[in-house]
Structure 1
Amino acid sequence: MAADVPRTLVVVPTYNEARTVPGTLARLRAAVPEADVLVVDDGSPDGTGEVVEELAAQDRAVHVLHRSGKQGLGSAYLAGFRWALDRDYAVVVEMDADGSHQPEQLPSLLAALDPSSGGPADLVLGSRWVRGGRVQNWPLHREVLSRGANLFTRLATGIPLNDATGGFRAYRASALRAVDLAGVASQGYCFQIDMALRVHDAGGVVREVPVLFVDRVEGESKMSNDIVAEALRRVTLWGFQRRGAQLAALLRTTTAAARRRRPS
């Protein structure tokens, strides 16, 4: 890896992605040849782990972490984060293997981490819902669900992000070390909101860059009613907690100001 490029690891969780993962990894290695790749496979019945093992045997930058059984997206990313931090990577990327995230756009995410690109960033989100971002081949109900979930997240939590649910993102390792990863229990797409909130609340700078999101052409979406329900439940709880804390702080400030105005 070039001396002026931070050590970067791209974490790619997989479950039954044997048909798509070779092409995704080939495009990724071509787009960002300096980066290493860790595929976290949850015991895919279709042999995804074995396919990646064969690719790793031909490319020293490709690694695979085998896990027993389907343990969830959030758990897979946390395992990848720990693997990266244990090996002193400076930047850790999240990316799907199903073709929805375009590897050719990863350089723009990595560039946005650079202070010279407009200020330091600790987390860069590939955003579908900022100017220049877009989706392709998505059914209307998926777009409505995504836009609605992000609007609800902004209103409930106050976090100033347009696409907190997106899973194409790059973290500085220092940002991951600054949050309590052991306390993250979220799964599914709620995990992405949870991590963005934690980095933001820890004082990290979160930036969004536009990306193209392409609906998968093979396999089945992992979106389910349980994932949607978890996100709704957790974001609502976080919203009550955050708004309650803001109200309590406002009351304390108002009370203190009133006491100062009283005649002695």
Structure 2
Amino acid sequence: MPSQPTPPDQPSSEPVHVTPSPVALPAPWSGSRVTVVVPTYDEAANLPRLVAQLMALDLPELRVVVVDDNSPDGTGEIADKLAVEHRGRISVVHRTTKDGLGRAYVAGMTHALDEGAEFVVQMDADLSHPVGYVPQLLGTLHSTNADVVIGSRYVPGGSLSERWGLRRRLLSGWANTYVKTLLAMPVRDVTAGFKIWRSSALRVLDLPGIESTGYAFQVEMHYRAFRRGQKMMEIPIHFEDRVEGESKLDAAVALEAALRPLRLRRAEQRRP
């Protein structure tokens, strides 16, 4: 059964945050076939830095799948060059239509599974998810036999960037409270986008059947895992704010995020 949460969801407001150095994992954990799926749209300034940090981790079997939605700033071309530079460790999925974060993740995860990944990491391309947590996510998955480990802003020790203003903090906190109340889901950070999955868990979730296109994709993935009895763990992370580029959150995405939980609850209640 999923781990039980502890209330409430208020992030830490301490002014100084230092992302820990990556933990050193023992063999055979360090040799796990891990694939990081990174959706991109206009992330030309951030993608090379992210890839360099991922390649520097002491995880020799780590791979990266970049899913680019035909970025006009040339992110797709940069991804192709990085794939040549790190031959065999980076692959690129080029999509001609920008139809949402959820569809990009489904494409990338499907590609990772087809390539034989044992574990799949989700993370943003904008450097808001510190790469140093990846080994900790993997180690927690191994040591707890969890199906998914979530990098959480809202468990004790988790925190948000000091650059987040009060309005953004309140909106994030309200979204988590709203979704958890509606879906009765024992996860503190239900909108989290930084996590690691076992490949077996992803296959059970029926990726082709995922309906959410925007940020509600994160909620739908968590809810499907919860309803299917998967073991869900959360570890604290510090969530950084992007420095380069612009947020992809707009009114349409926010509306889907508000309405999708209602549809998810009805759909799961009808599920045999």
TM bracket (short chain): 0.7 to 0.9
Q: Which of 176, 181, 197 is 1:150 aligned to?
A: 176
**Which runs of no fewer than 5 residues in structure 2 stay unpaired?**
1-26
Q: Shift of residue 132 of structure 1? A: 0.6
Query: Are residue 6 (structure 1) and residue 43 (structure 2) matched?
Result: no
Q: Is the 8 A contact 1:91 1:172 kept in 2?
A: yes
Larger RCO, structure (CA 8 Å, separation 6 or more): 2
- 1:42 matched to 2:69? The reply is yes
Match of 2:53 among 27, 33, 57: 27
Equivalenced residue count is 240
Could you tell me which residue of structure 1 aligns to residue 149 of structure 2? 124
Q: Structure 1 pair 158/7, CA: closer, same or farther in 2 (3 Å)?
A: same
* Partner-residue secondary structure (3-state), 1:89: coil
Q: How far apart in 1 are the matches of 2:58 and 2:221?
A: 24
Q: CA deviation digits over 1:68-110, x for unaligned, max 9?
A: 1312100010001111111221100111111111101111111
**1:164 offset after TM fit, Å?**
1.1
Q: Where do 4+ consecutive residues of structure 1 move more than 6 Å?
A: none
Do residues 86 (structure 1) and 111 (structure 2) align? no
Q: 2:127 aligns with which of 99, 105, 121?
A: 99
Say which SS state the counterpart of residue 54 (structure 1) adopts: helix
**Separation in 2, partners of 1:69, 1:139:** 33
One-letter amino acid of the counterpart of residue 131, structure 1: P
**Is the 8 Å Cα contact of residues 37 and 122 (structure 2) preserved in structure 1?**
yes
Q: Quick check: 2:34–2:119 contact (8 Å CA) kept in 1?
A: yes
Q: Deviations over 1:149-170 (max 9, x none)?
A: 1111111111101101011110
In structure 2, what residue type is equivalent to 1:100? S
**Equivalent residue number for residue 218 of structure 1:** 244
More helix by share: 1
| Aligned AA (1:50) | E
Structure 2 residue aligned with 1:173: 199
- 2:159 corresponds to 1:134: yes
- Determine whether 1:205 maps to 2:220: no
RMSD: 1.6
Give the residue type in structure 2 aligned to 1:6: S
- Would the aligned equivalents of 1:99 and 1:214 in 2 still touch at CA under 8 Å? yes
Rounded to whole Å, the distance in 2 between the matches of 1:59 and 1:103 is 18
| Partner SS, residue 64 of structure 2 | strand
Rounded Cα–Cα distance in structure 1 between residues aligned with 2:236 and 2:160:
11
TM-score with structure 1 length normalisation? Answer: 0.86
